[in-house]
C-alpha cells in the first residue's frame, strides 16, 4: 500500500503557497507501507490533498512535491512533458546555444539540473526523486535535444544529505575534453569534467554582458575570475586592459585559452589569493577603473553566515578602495543564505568603512534561465550589484 503522509495542522500553508518541500518534522502521521523512494501522497491534517512526490526517509526533506494534481499520472511521459515545458520556456526567451535547460524545483523537477553547452548536456542528479527516475529523465533529454553526448556531474555536497553516492562520467554518446560554446558572441571553452558545478556558471551570462558598458577604454580587474567569463566580456567591449585574478592555476589556464581563441591581446592573468592581492594593490596605491568581485559562496549553511558576512564586507571594502574616483565596483554573491537585505546592508557598511561615496548603478539577479519560485528563497540566490564609486 502506497504511503499517505498527513501534515501537522497548519503546516500545509507554506506548501499550498508553492513551496516544494515537506520536512520530516512537519508530519503528523504516515499511513501505508512501501519502499523508500516510492511515490506518496501528501495531505493536510484534515485529509485535503496537497501534492505528490517521492519519499526519502534518509533526508530531512522527506518529500519534494512533483505534482499538485491528484489524478496526474507520474510516468516517463510526465518527465518528458515537464522537461519539454522547461526547455520551451528558455527558447521563448531567446536562449539557444548554451543555457540552463532544467533548474530543479523551479521547473518542477526536484533535484535535477541540466545545462546545455552547445551540442552537449551536463546533468546533475542530486535528489532521490530524480535518481529513481533517471532512465525516464535521460530518455527524455535524448528525445528533446538529440545531443552528441551527456556528461553527469552528480558530485554536489547536497547528494550526501540525500543518502546518494556521487556519480560522474559520460552517460550518453561522447563528450570532448573541452566544449566550445558561444556566449554573448564570445567563444568560451567549457570543461564539464573539471570545471566547477556542471562545468561553467551560466547563471551570470546576462550579468557578464552587462559589464561591457563599464569596461570600454577601462583598466579592469576581474577577481575570482574562474574561466574568465567577465574578463572576456570586458575585453570584447574594448577594455584598455583586463587583469584576471584567481588562486586556481587551472582556472587561469582556461582564461588564457579563452583569450587566445577570441584573439584578445588585452587580457593578462594573475595568480594569487584575491584578499592578499587586493591588500597589496592598496598598499602599492594601484587602482583600476572597474573592479569585478565574483567570489564563490562564502556560506553554504546558516551557521556560516556571520563569518561569511565579515568575509564579504572585507573583500568589498578592499575593492572599493582600489577603484578610481568615478569608476565601478561590480560585486555579487551566490549564496542564498546571504539574502538581498543582508547583502545590501553589508555593502552599506563596506562603503562607510572604505570612506567612499557609493551610488547603485544596477541591481540584478541570476539569468531568466535560472527562474526562482516566488516563495522559495533557496531558488533566488544570486545578487549582482554595479556600484559607482565616487
Q: How many CB atoms lie within 10 A of CB 71?
A: 6
If you search the block for the grid coordinates 559607482, which residue do you land on?
388
Task: Report CA 100 to chain centroid distance, whole Å.
Answer: 9
For residues 206 and 94, give the distance between their C-alpha atoms in angstroms, rounded to a whole number: 12
Closest-CA residue to 230 (of 200, 258, 209, 253):
209
For residues 352 and 349, give the distance between their C-alpha atoms in angstroms, rounded to a whole number: 5
* Three-class DSSP category at 21: strand
If you search the block for the grid coordinates 552528441, which residue do you land on?
148
Task: At 337, list the grid cell.
Answer: 543564505
Q: Is 223 a catalytic residue?
A: no
Helix (H) or strand (E) holding 245: strand 241-246
Contacts of 91 (CB under 8 A, 6+ apart): none
Cα radius of gyration rounded to whole Å, the chain:
23
For residue 295, give the DSSP letter.
P
* Three-class DSSP category at 186: strand
- Phi/psi of residue 162, each to 5°? -95, -5
For residues 368 and 277, give the distance between their C-alpha atoms in angstroms, rounded to a whole number: 33
For residue 296, give the DSSP letter.
P
Among the listed residues 223, 225, 299, 334, the single catalytic one is: 334
Task: At 224, list the grid cell.
Answer: 575570482
Query: Which residues make beta-bridge pairs with 267?
Result: 242
For residues 72 and 52, give the distance between their C-alpha atoms in angstroms, rounded to a whole number: 9
* Three-class DSSP category at 337: coil
For residue 32, give the DSSP letter.
S
Which residues participate in catalysis according to the annotation? 334
Amino acid at each position: 500500500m502506497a504511503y499517505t503522509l498527513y501534515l501537522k495542522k497548519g503546516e500545509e500553508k507554506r506548501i499550498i503557497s508553492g513551496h516544494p518541500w515537506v520536512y520530516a518534522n512537519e508530519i503528523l502521521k504516515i499511513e501505508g507501507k512501501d519502499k523508500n523512494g516510492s511515490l506518496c501522497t501528501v495531505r493536510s491534517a484534515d485529509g485535503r490533498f496537497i501534492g505528490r512526490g517521492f519519499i526519502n526517509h534518509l533526508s530531512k526533506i522527506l518529500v519534494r512535491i512533483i505534482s499538485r494534481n491528484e489524478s496526474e499520472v507520474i510516468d516517463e511521459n510526465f518527465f518528458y512533458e515537464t522537461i519539454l515545458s522547461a526547455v520551451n520556456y528558455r527558447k521563448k526567451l531567446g536562449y539557444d546555444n548554451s543555457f540552463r535547460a532544467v533548474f530543479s524545483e523551479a521547473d518542477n523537477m526536484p533535484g535535477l539540473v541540466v545545462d546545455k553547452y552547445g551540442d552537449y548536456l551536463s546533468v546533475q542528479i542530486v535528489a532521490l526523486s530524480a535518481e529513481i527516475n533517471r532512465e525516464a529523465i535521460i530518455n527524455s533529454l535524448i528525445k528533446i535535444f538529440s545531443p552528441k553526448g551527456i556528461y553527469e556531474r552528480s558530485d554536489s555536497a547536497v547528494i550526501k544529505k540525500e543518502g546518494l553516492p556521487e556519480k560522474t562520467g559520460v552517460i550518453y554518446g561522447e563528450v570532448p575534453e573541452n566544449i566550445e560554446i558561444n556566449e554573448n558572441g564570445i567563444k568560451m571553452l567549457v570543461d564539464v569534467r573539471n570545471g566547477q558545478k556542471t562545468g561553467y556558471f551560466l547563471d551570470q551570462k546576462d550579468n557578464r554582458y552587462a559589464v561591457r558598458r563599464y569596461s570600454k577604454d577601462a583598466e579592469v580587474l576581474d577577481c575570482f575570475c574562474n574561466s574568465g567569463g567577465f574578463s572576456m566580456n570586458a575585453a570584447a567591449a574594448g577594455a584598455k586592459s583586463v587583469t584576471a585574478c584567481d588562486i586556481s592555476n587551472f582556472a587561469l589556464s582556461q582564461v588564457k585559452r579563452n583569450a587566445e581563441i577570441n584573439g584578445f591581446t588585452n587580457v593578462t592573468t594573475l595568480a594569487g589569493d584575491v584578499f592578499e592581492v587586493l591588500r597589496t594593490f592598496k598598499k602599492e596605491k594601484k587602482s583600476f577603473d572597474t573592479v569585478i568581485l565574483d567570489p564563490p559562496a562564502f556560506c553554504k549553511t546558516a551557521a556560516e553566515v556571520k563569518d561569511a558576512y565579515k568575509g564579504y564586507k572585507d573583500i568589498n571594502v578592499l575593492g572599493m578602495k582600489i577603484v578610481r574616483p568615478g569608476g565601478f565596483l561590480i560585486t555579487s554573491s551566490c549564496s542564498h543564505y546571504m539574502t538581498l537585505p543582508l547583502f545590501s546592508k553589508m555593502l552599506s557598511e563596506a562603503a562607510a568603512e572604505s570612506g567612499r561615496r557609493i551610488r547603485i548603478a544596477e541591481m540584478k539577479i541570476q539569468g531568466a534561465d535560472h527562474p526562482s519560485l516566488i516563495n522559495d528563497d533557496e531558488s533566488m540566490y544570486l545578487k549582482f550589484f554595479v556600484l559607482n564609486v565616487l
